[in-house]
Amino acid sequence: MAWLLVVLAGFLETGFAVCLKLSHGFTRLWPTIAFAIFALGSFGLLTLALRKLDVGPAYAVWTGIGAAGTAVYGMIFLGDVVSTLKIVSISLVIIGVIGLQLSGSSH
């Protein structure tokens, strides 16, 4: 259950990163509100998960999901540059996240 919270928190991290960009420096109301909601949700879920998980692997998985998700979202929906190196790098992040999750705490 704790790892599920980390995964959900990672997806919410993607949401707050995208909304941060769309807020244009907190000058647009709705993306700014969405940023705050996603950020609070992400940190809240991560906090709950850290009651049962070691901080290192959980934090690495959380940031990895957020970073990979944000990069993929940007390439698909925001016109970010797509390159082979970027796709390979995102794949390596995902592989690292899986490895950290598998090596994380079992309690």
96 vs 29 pLDDT, higher one: 29
Q: Is the pLDDT of residue 99 over 90?
A: no
Q: How many residues does the chain have?
A: 107
Give yes or no for a contact between 31 and 22, defined as CB atoms under 8 angstroms apart. yes
> Could you read off the pLDDT of 25-50 as tens digits, one per residue?
999 999 999 999 999 999 999 999 99
> Could you read off the pLDDT of 7-25 as tens digits, one per residue?
999 999 999 999 999 999 9
Distances (CA, A) of 79 to 19, 72, 86: 15, 10, 14
Look up the pTM and report it.
0.89
Out of 2-6, 25-29, 54-58, least confident range: 54-58
Q: Is the pLDDT of residue 52 over 70?
A: yes
